[in-house]
Structure 1
Amino acid sequence: MPNAALHELNFEIRDGMRVSWDVPVTMSDGVTLRADIFRPIEEGRYPVIMSYGCYAKGLSFQEAYAGQWEVMTRDFPAIMQGTSNKYQCWEVIDPERWVPDGYIVIRLDSRGAGRSEGVQSVWSEEEIKDYYECIEWAGEQPWSNGNVGLHGISYYGANQWHVASLQPPHLKAIIPWEGTSDWYREVFYHGGIRSGFLDLWLPRQLPMQHGYGERGRKNPNTGEPVAGPETLTDEELARNRVDKVAEVRARPLADDYYHGVIADLSKVSVPILSAANWGGQGLHLRGNIEGFTQAGSQDKWLEVHGLEHWTHYYTPYGVDLQKRFFDYFLRGVDNGWDKQPKVTLQVRHIDPGAKGSITGRFVQRGEDTWPLERTEWTRLYLQANGAGLQNEPIETSTYCEYDPTGAGATFTWPAQDKDIEITGPLAAKLFISSSTIDADIFLVVRVFDPFGAEVVFRGAMDIHTPVAQGWLRASHRRLDVERSLPYRPYHSHTVKEPLVPGEIYELDVEIWPTSVVIPAGYRLALTVRGKDYEYEGEIDQSDKTHRYPSRGVGPFVHNDPLDRPSEIFNGKVRVYTGGGYDSCLILPVIPAAQ
């Protein structure tokens, strides 16, 4: 366990808070982590809200993520009100919004990151063990009331699921905001296809690794290097971090290496407010919905919204939701949270307008369950001859063939004469053959306006996201039968079963959940491809909403030539329909309110 309780913290009074910088928290193996602690001025015992992660706790949001800050505050100026914004950091709460309400806010740099020493191993079991010790350390402090809650976006949300499954005694509630609960299926590999997210993301974290020191940014509140105090050479930094890309690339199957980073959700027992993003295709969606449905907690709520994955975390809408939850479970405030709908959805609507525009609005609605009880599970059958989707199976067997290096094959449902709502998980059953021993299947659910232009949406990490996406490597087709559902197939990813070229195979493909109301006259389509979706419209190069090119998948690309050698994955693929090969798209259609 960590070192003995600190009975007195050195602090300074700033903006109505007692602030203690770089408080040492020593782990059981002797490694010292560093925490910034923000407390109320009045003496007392207060609940703790904690975050633990690799983004450097002293790094200014406004400085390091200036483009994102500018867009967020432009669209939601209320974020700037009621706070000095001096302590805004990436993907964690603003202490000025919480400390006055009787909370202690603790930000911890994870092992080897920011001001914390040690060898850095991101997305790892080692970090989860540290997090457990930090929770127990905080719960035992004399200024803590023993109730610790966890909070944060993305990285700071993902590790919550994992540490909660270890059941630290002082952990009393969690708010994992758009954070994966299965790092194999939602970060490292999508349907068995390696995601390039790590390759793009890890280099951006180098200035936040402990030892970057004077070469990096400084905390605007202390003037100290956010990744110091020492400054190491590139060689020393490399020795102090695990090569996560190499480790993941070497382990394409869900073997024992991933055991500690696939949360046992059945062991999560604390109250949960799980927040997901419809546009979080690739990271910020599936894990929160799986976490909600699979967690063993009796007290659990799901909220799903849109826009960028950080935006509503900071808006009055998001902060109010978070506070009511923590007030109820950490402070015992009788605020009616127990009457809160178990599921709150920001249902996405398309506003008819200029053709192909990035469009949409959100209408909030409460529900009792996920998936929705009144869901009408609807199968649309693929028609190779005519590239259509239709409500009944086709009697005659036929096929279409596509080149995986091209645009693939698109199957379109005729425009309907009324609005159609699709909300929930999706899936597809495909019968395919390949001219090689394997095939990567990329599925894209899309909507086209009456003029034939595609409608896309501002997503979690890309401003041109389609309605939904799914992935599957054909050699990973084996299902975990016990965990699979008709609308959410679950693949074991523990064995590779190559194809016999030319033979027909049945694939069940998971498509991540969505919500959209398709106006009358618009058409829904399914595209089957052999590579990542690419938005075909104009790209505004001046848009700084995201840090990655916004061509539809953001940083979640699947283009590693070592994982996808062209001699295997560029072979021709055939999709078979009709005559018993009933390839279909499974949709969660929600009937209109009577």
Structure 2
Amino acid sequence: MLSMSHLSGRRIAAAVAALVTLAGPLALTGGADAAPMPAQAAAALPSGWTPRPATYPGTVVKANVAIPMSDGLSLQGDLVLPAKADGTAASGKFPVVVEITAYNKTVIAGGGGGLGGADLSYLVKRGYAFLIVDARGTGTSPGTWQVFGEREQKDAGEAVTWAAKQSWSDGTVGMVGPSYMGISQLFAAGNQPQGLKAIFPQVPGADVYRDIVASGGQLDVGFMPLWLGLVNLTGLMPTGTPDLTALSTILEHLAGSGSTSLQLALDGVLGGEKAYDGPWYRERSTLLQSVPKIQVPTFLIGGEYDLFQRGTPMIFQALQERGVPVKMILGPWNHLQGSSGADVVKAGYGTIAELQLRWFDHYVRGVADPALDSDIPDFTYYELGSGSWVKRNGYLDGQSATSYQLSGSALPTLQKGSLTTGPAQAGTAVVPPLPVSGLCTRSSSQWTAGVSSVLLGETPCDTDNRLNDLAGAVYETAPLSDDLRMLGPINVHLNASSATGDGMLSVHVSRVAPDGRVDRLTGGWQVISLAELDEARSTKIDGQIVQPWHPFTKASQRTLQPGEIAPVDVEVFPTGAVIRKGDRLRISVGAFDVPHLAPHLGVLTSAASVITLHTSPSNPSRIVLPTVSGTGATAGGGTTAAGIGGAVTDITGQLAGGAGLSLPGLGGLLPAGTDPTYDATTAAADALARTESADTTAAPATQPVSATRAVATQPWLLGGIGLFVLLLTTTWVRARKVT
């Protein structure tokens, strides 16, 4: 039997391995392709499209290729070419696939090859060259890390242009990669470099401040320290044979990116410039800087529990409105799962590798594919609550605004208010600032990028929000008489006051099953003093705001008078879901979302305040949903994990769905008879059975993963956790000294 310490060690190794997947889809030396699937698998696509077979038996790597930039600095890249049976590079010119990473190309290839999505050898064996490049100031590339700054954006375009002009290139280029690498694609495409024909970003961000750094004006303390530590750690790893150049690069990174990370963290924690939106963030916003200039076909992968849950659909919407060929698959994935792409196959269009092959064959190589648009609609999403994949022509396309008024009084653990389409009853609700709110919710997994799920597996907190909701004010509908479908962002308009004139609001939107289980669909956050609303930039449906836009600038900050009642619009991040007939729609309002968000030190005392919510005709509070009619068209029946043309092994998807600790479900902890908010009336109403199937979002069972053992043998990877802790501790100590 395995000891608990051994299991913990394996989970830590798996978590660090999962973090490395943020570096993107990379396997420089892929093995032979798996045997093809039986013929019936191809029937998942109406046209019967199947991927073409490999034309080369292997791949060959040329490491540390110098890629000169216009300012004289040379980035470092690894070039992968198709290989003949004898292992030598095949002759000829090839279309090129480029990936730009901040996580060290050499470290990823050595310790985590294949962990992040599609195995790129799949494309190389089908006649593509692959070039992975370390961004300036990261990995093996010299210079100072720009954190997506203007120079780094220019580098991305210049790297593509360089690739298009090489002797092994046919002059055409595509780009791949998740997360950081997906964002790099958008910046590169915005520069419109020579030769770039198409991109394939997975889980990219649109607005770094609102998407992740400071959602609702509070600072992200869950993912950002992990991310900064990951970039710094991989930049300090030895790469190959040590020499003076490598040592010089490591020392340069230690002084450069380490200092940059510490300054960013310290400035934010102390309430400096980086705690507010401004020029620094606007320069790094793809939605402002690059998306308006992108012209090449773009295939997006997004996650409903992703770090960029908010931003990726906005990128799709902006590109489609401009007429750029764009498609998107939105699944029930956290950041690691979306970066992996392992479950993209469940949408019914093939594996991530097969989709990339089809996209690039058509748009990069110029191969005719008349069935592409009929096989794959522009927008496909997984509908939470039904387990169906729904296909649409667009994202915000034909929705109606549906409002429910908050009505009556609510008291944590003791009394629920109601959501009604009729007149609201006057009432109040007290929201205490409890710094444990958020711990037992799906938010914990989402805002650690899925790392907590790797360590713990799926816990009851991921599937039942009841325990968390006891700490806040709860409002819910009666059992619905019809299905309620929604797709898009949500606005929760509250009238609030506080003892200090400030405070933090954390809103969860959930569906409640007849047995009392609370399935959290999405959430939103807002600092009261930063609630100034810009209606002109807010998104409206039927004249009602569904996505409020707040400036989040220092100049827009306004502290209320103690007890002053003011409107606060909370942007709740988008979802695609159905509340079934017989289920209830619920919102719960708390004051913290731990370990996701925390106020900076400048407002810590005032923000951690008791808040009072007000519901009355003179102070109306409501939730506005973007609802869709009908049942939607399902996107096929899905294919097996092996895809259409054959299995493409992916490790992260297995890790992210890992077996967890054996814990009792919340149904056992909080049965109907003991849940203080589950009164007799609710229990009687919930006896009404649902008429349609329940959600099927359970993670797949884990399988033995050899790469986990491989990563566990790399001591420097395990040391990454220590670096994360060191970064946090140093920031806290310095903050204490300053204050």
Per the alignment, residue 349 of structure 1 pairs with 385
**1:411-422 maps to which residues of 2 (within 5 A)?**
411-422=475-486
Report the alpha carbon displacement of residue 129 of structure 1 after superposing the two structures with TM. Answer: 2.0
2:95 matches 1:96: no
Which of the numbers 31, 37, 46 marks the counterpart of 2:79?
Answer: 37
Per the alignment, residue 230 of structure 1 pairs with 247
Which of the numbers 236, 253, 256 marks the counterpart of 2:276?
Answer: 253
* Cα separation, partners in 2 of 1:564 and 1:408, compared to 1, 3 Å: farther
**1:77-156 maps to which residues of 2 (within 5 A)?**
87-88=113-114, 90-91=115-116, 93-156=118-181
Measured in 1, the distance between the counterparts of 2:546 and 2:99 equals 34
2:401 matches 1:377: yes
Structure 1 unaligned residues grouped into runs of 5+? 1-10, 65-86, 351-361, 456-465, 534-555
* Partner SS, residue 351 of structure 2: helix
CA offset digits 1:172-200 (Å, max 9, x no partner)? 22212111011111121112211122223
Per the alignment, residue 497 of structure 1 pairs with 558
Q: As a proportion of its length, which structure holds more strand?
A: 1
**1:463-478 maps to which residues of 2 (within 5 A)?**
466-478=520-532
**1:520-539 maps to which residues of 2 (within 5 A)?**
520-532=581-593
Measured in 1, the distance between the counterparts of 2:250 and 2:157 equals 31
* Cα separation, partners in 2 of 1:305 and 1:396, compared to 1, 3 Å: closer
Measured in 2, the distance between the counterparts of 1:225 and 1:483 equals 52
Per the alignment, residue 368 of structure 2 pairs with 334
Which of the numbers 624, 629, 649 marks the counterpart of 1:586?
Answer: 624
- The question of whether the paired residues in 1 share the 8 Å contact of 2:141 and 2:249 is answered with no
Per the alignment, residue 670 of structure 2 pairs with none
Which of the numbers 215, 219, 227 marks the counterpart of 1:201?
Answer: 227
2:55 matches 1:21: no
Report the alpha carbon displacement of residue 449 of structure 1 after superposing the two structures with TM. Answer: 2.5
Which of the numbers 412, 431, 436 marks the counterpart of 1:402?
Answer: 431
Which of the numbers 533, 553, 568 marks the counterpart of 2:606?
Answer: 568
Report the alpha carbon displacement of residue 138 of structure 1 after superposing the two structures with TM. Answer: 0.9
Measured in 2, the distance between the counterparts of 1:225 and 1:181 equals 38
- The question of whether the paired residues in 2 share the 8 Å contact of 1:444 and 1:468 is answered with yes
* Cα separation, partners in 2 of 1:31 and 1:454, compared to 1, 3 Å: same
2:304 matches 1:278: yes
CA offset digits 1:127-158 (Å, max 9, x no partner)? 22211211111122222222222211111112
2:351 matches 1:317: yes
CA offset digits 1:469-511 (Å, max 9, x no partner)? 1112222222333321121112222321222221111122211
- The question of whether the paired residues in 2 share the 8 Å contact of 1:162 and 1:262 is answered with no
Bigger drift between 174-183 and 477-486 goes to 477-486
Alignment-mate amino acid for residue 136 of structure 2: R
* Partner SS, residue 368 of structure 2: coil
* Cα separation, partners in 2 of 1:395 and 1:35, compared to 1, 3 Å: closer
Alignment-mate amino acid for residue 511 of structure 2: V
* Cα separation, partners in 2 of 1:338 and 1:258, compared to 1, 3 Å: same
Which of the numbers 276, 286, 294 marks the counterpart of 1:268?
Answer: 294
Alignment-mate amino acid for residue 366 of structure 1: K
Q: Compute the RMSD of aligned alpha carbons.
A: 2.9
Measured in 2, the distance between the counterparts of 1:207 and 1:37 equals 23
* Cα separation, partners in 2 of 1:240 and 1:582, compared to 1, 3 Å: closer
CA offset digits 1:436-478 (Å, max 9, x no partner)? 13222211112233222333xxxxxxxxxx3101112222222
Measured in 1, the distance between the counterparts of 2:358 and 2:249 equals 44
Report the alpha carbon displacement of residue 560 of structure 1 after superposing the two structures with TM. Answer: 5.0
Measured in 2, the distance between the counterparts of 1:235 and 1:269 equals 36
- Count, aligned residues: 505
* Partner SS, residue 536 of structure 2: coil
Which of the numbers 212, 232, 235 marks the counterpart of 1:187?
Answer: 212
Alignment-mate amino acid for residue 597 of structure 2: H
* Partner SS, residue 333 of structure 1: coil
Bigger drift between 301-310 and 567-576 goes to 301-310
* Partner SS, residue 606 of structure 2: helix
Which of the numbers 427, 436, 448 marks the counterpart of 2:512?
Answer: 448
- The question of whether the paired residues in 2 share the 8 Å contact of 1:54 and 1:122 is answered with no
* Cα separation, partners in 2 of 1:395 and 1:207, compared to 1, 3 Å: closer
- The question of whether the paired residues in 2 share the 8 Å contact of 1:371 and 1:425 is answered with no
Q: As a proportion of its length, which structure holds more helix?
A: 2
Measured in 2, the distance between the counterparts of 1:325 and 1:227 equals 42
2:551 matches 1:515: no
Per the alignment, residue 43 of structure 2 pairs with none
- The question of whether the paired residues in 1 share the 8 Å contact of 2:102 and 2:134 is answered with yes
Measured in 2, the distance between the counterparts of 1:40 and 1:61 equals 17
Alignment-mate amino acid for residue 326 of structure 1: F
Alignment-mate amino acid for residue 487 of structure 1: V
Report the alpha carbon displacement of residue 99 of structure 1 after superposing the two structures with TM. Answer: 0.9
Per the alignment, residue 51 of structure 1 pairs with 99
- The question of whether the paired residues in 2 share the 8 Å contact of 1:208 and 1:227 is answered with no
* Partner SS, residue 125 of structure 2: helix
Structure 2 unaligned residues grouped into runs of 5+? 1-27, 32-56, 84-89, 411-415, 438-470, 540-544, 633-739
* Partner SS, residue 158 of structure 2: helix
* Partner SS, residue 482 of structure 1: helix
- The question of whether the paired residues in 1 share the 8 Å contact of 2:527 and 2:607 is answered with no
CA offset digits 1:10-62 (Å, max 9, x no partner)? x9999622321111112222322111111224433322211111111123479
* Partner SS, residue 300 of structure 2: strand
* Cα separation, partners in 2 of 1:395 and 1:259, compared to 1, 3 Å: closer
Report the alpha carbon displacement of residue 393 of structure 1 after superposing the two structures with TM. Answer: 4.5
* Cα separation, partners in 2 of 1:514 and 1:492, compared to 1, 3 Å: same
Report the alpha carbon displacement of residue 103 of structure 1 after superposing the two structures with TM. Answer: 1.5
CA offset digits 1:399-425 (Å, max 9, x no partner)? 212212262211112222444333222
- The question of whether the paired residues in 2 share the 8 Å contact of 1:271 and 1:297 is answered with no
Alignment-mate amino acid for residue 99 of structure 1: V
Alignment-mate amino acid for residue 356 of structure 2: Q
Bigger drift between 572-581 and 400-409 goes to 400-409
Measured in 2, the distance between the counterparts of 1:593 and 1:12 equals 45
Which of the numbers 536, 560, 568 marks the counterpart of 1:482?
Answer: 536
Bigger drift between 569-578 and 242-251 goes to 242-251
Measured in 1, the distance between the counterparts of 2:533 and 2:245 equals 47
Per the alignment, residue 67 of structure 1 pairs with none
* Partner SS, residue 525 of structure 1: strand
Q: TM-score, normalised by structure 2?
A: 0.64
2:191 matches 1:166: yes
Alignment-mate amino acid for residue 53 of structure 1: T
Measured in 2, the distance between the counterparts of 1:154 and 1:35 equals 19
Report the alpha carbon displacement of residue 226 of structure 1 after superposing the two structures with TM. Answer: 13
* Cα separation, partners in 2 of 1:310 and 1:482, compared to 1, 3 Å: same
Report the alpha carbon displacement of residue 227 of structure 1 after superposing the two structures with TM. Answer: 13
Per the alignment, residue 686 of structure 2 pairs with none
- The question of whether the paired residues in 2 share the 8 Å contact of 1:403 and 1:572 is answered with yes
2:410 matches 1:368: no
Alignment-mate amino acid for residue 254 of structure 1: D
Report the alpha carbon displacement of residue 513 of structure 1 after superposing the two structures with TM. Answer: 0.8
User: What percent identity do the matched residue pairs reach?
Assistant: 27
Measured in 1, the distance between the counterparts of 2:244 and 2:514 equals 53
- The question of whether the paired residues in 1 share the 8 Å contact of 2:118 and 2:352 is answered with no
Measured in 1, the distance between the counterparts of 2:244 and 2:395 equals 42
Alignment-mate amino acid for residue 584 of structure 1: R
